[in-house]
Structure 1
Amino acid sequence: MNAWVQIAVGLGASYLAATLAESIQHRVVGHAGARRRRFWARHPRLCGFLLRAHYRHAVVHHGLTFARDHVTQFLDEADKARVDAVIGRRGDPLIERERYGLTVGVRAFLTFGAAVWPLVPGLYWAIGPCAALAALPAPLAAPLLSMFVHPYLHLPHREALRRAPRPVACLLRTSYFRAVARHHYLHHVYPRFNFNLLMGGDWLLRTHRRPSPEDLRAMEAIDVPTD
């Protein structure tokens, strides 16, 4: 098979796998329902890490922080102290290390990649070496976005452009990442929708939600891109 065809197949297949995996993992773990959490709680040695991941995301990032609006993590120092008192009982140092859900650590490359990396040798044997090489970046994309871009999605857009490192600021100016900012804002308003930062999977899985006129007005009020 032609090398350029291999590259196209590798890029396309790995992007598709990565965006679907991100959407599914975010929904199934980060926003797990009560029944699933009860099952995990009955098997703490096997599933304890899933309960902890759910708590960090759904409880801390979606519940205890950003209570006022999408761009205000804590109201003031007293509010932060209140949150610290709650999470202190969990004994989970990753909560503070990952800035209360704003970013992720290296572990995300392992947990996310476990669902996508097996595709790479499969492409090598089925399509060819160029396909396998072209597939390498996509499994890294979602955790990199969570690590380096997600924190700036929770700032007013103009402030994010001022504060972000230049490569991230350049990304935030693009139409793609302005759409990501809208998409992610809606996820916090409607937590059963819009799980992707690596766009695409939510459309395919029918978990994408478009903003209403009221949503757009609310976004404009806190400087989230609306176009």
Structure 2
Amino acid sequence: MSDESRAEKFLELFNKSKHFTEELLRENERLRKRLGALEEENKDYASRYTEIEHQNNNLATLYVASYQLHSTLDFREVIQIVHDIIVDVIGAKSFALLLLDENTNELRTIACDGEDAMPGIERIWTHLGEGILGGVARSGESFYLSDGKTTLDRPLAAIPLRIKDQVIGVIAIYKLIAENHVFTAVDYETFALLAAHAATAIFSAKLYAQSERKLNTIQSFLDLLTTTS
């Protein structure tokens, strides 16, 4: 075989090797991208699994707490249970529970926690429709702070306590135990469930307390009539 033939043969083999190497590199790049995509999918699945697990745990805790919430008609006990749920389930570090006075249309704090983180929450007072808290009470729509600093009238979240179309109060959350937490769909669902159960329990306890006072008044009046007759 002549030198020229050997050179051509070598060049042919070189070109084949070059094409084969390029094909391997392309396949390697394709596999690398696919592997990266699979890793991202796995991260998404893991994140979703964690989110679902967190949601299930919260719902289970809320279910147990709601059972306690509806097991009593004592107004103070109901408020204390709502307080504990906001701390244990929501993870709130600073918050206020406000009730609406139907006679004066005023929202006032009846329970709170974390006064050191948000001074003044123990004495919040506002009219229906006034500011963010009053606006939530009037509209019945939740408020979530997207940016800016929290103030007494600009909480991280304000959730109305509704009985059908009637708002009886507002839960205002100012600070969470978990720093820099971003609200997720799980949080929104938990807030909605908490608000529904809390509103029903508080409303029932208020009605019971009012009926008890009326019965006591009637009984006192009957006792007075019996004594004087």
Give your verdict on TM over 0.5. Answer: no
Structure 1-normalised TM-score?
0.28
Higher RCO structure (Cα 8 Å, ≥6 apart): 1
Q: Which has the higher strand share?
A: 2
Q: Which has the higher helix share?
A: 1
Structure 2-normalised TM-score?
0.27
